Amino acid sequence: MKREILRVGAPSLSRVAEAVGEVDDPAVRRDAADLLEALMAFREAHGFGRAIAAPQIGIDRRMIALAVPGWPDVIVNPEIVWTSAERVTLWDDCMCFPDTMVKVARYASISVRCVDLSGEVHLKAQLPLAEAELLQHEIDHLDGKLSFDRAVGENATVPRSEFEANRAAFARQVDYCPQP
């Protein structure tokens, strides 16, 4: 089943997603397949996108699809179990508003406990910054939060086209800016 990515303003994006009970439930498996399909379609259409949370396509489950080496394709019920003392600022993007960048502050590292679709529990400890910021972003979606809810500083939003045209200048405004 093809599901569209919801845009900012969709009421379901502000709701807290329900925990997944049984990973072998056929409905959970169908939703996981839809989530993976949505991630791959977005990546193909836009050239970016490392992960997508289920609420972004209207699925009310604590589930995230990932295109990140070393991670399962889909994780369920992820929880942050540790945060670093250090925080960093960065420009965040999102599939729900692909033409906008938002300046946010996030923990420099986190540890995440989750379950994969086989039921295996994973603990990903003290994640590197690129993975830490990604997982914080996606878990925010599960908690009904968007990057706009985490915006910091003046001029915290910028059109992606302006950001890309002046990437070096925008990179100087934050602690961390991944390379394209």
| Residue tagged active-site, from 131, 138, 162, 164 | 138
| DSSP notation for 66-98 | E--TTS-SEEEEEEEEEE-S-EEEEEE--TTST
Residue 141 annotated as lining a ligand binding site: yes
| Distance (Å, whole) CA 174 – CA 169 | 10
| Distance (Å, whole) CA 153 – CA 49 | 25
Burial class (CB in 10 A: 0-12, 13-18, 19+), 71: buried
86 is catalytic: no
Q: Which tokens in the block code for residue 33? A: 């397949």
Provide the β-strand partners of residue 80: 112
Neighbours of 91 (CB within 10 A): 22
Q: Which tokens in the block code for residue 158? A: 């910028």
| Distance (Å, whole) CA 94 – CA 52 | 9
Lookup result for tokens 């807290």: 16
Residue 137 annotated as lining a ligand binding site: yes
Q: Which tokens in the block code for residue 111? A: 């540890």
Which residues belong to the annotated binding site for Fe cation? 94, 137, 141
Catalytic residues: 138
Which residues belong to the annotated binding site? 94, 137, 141
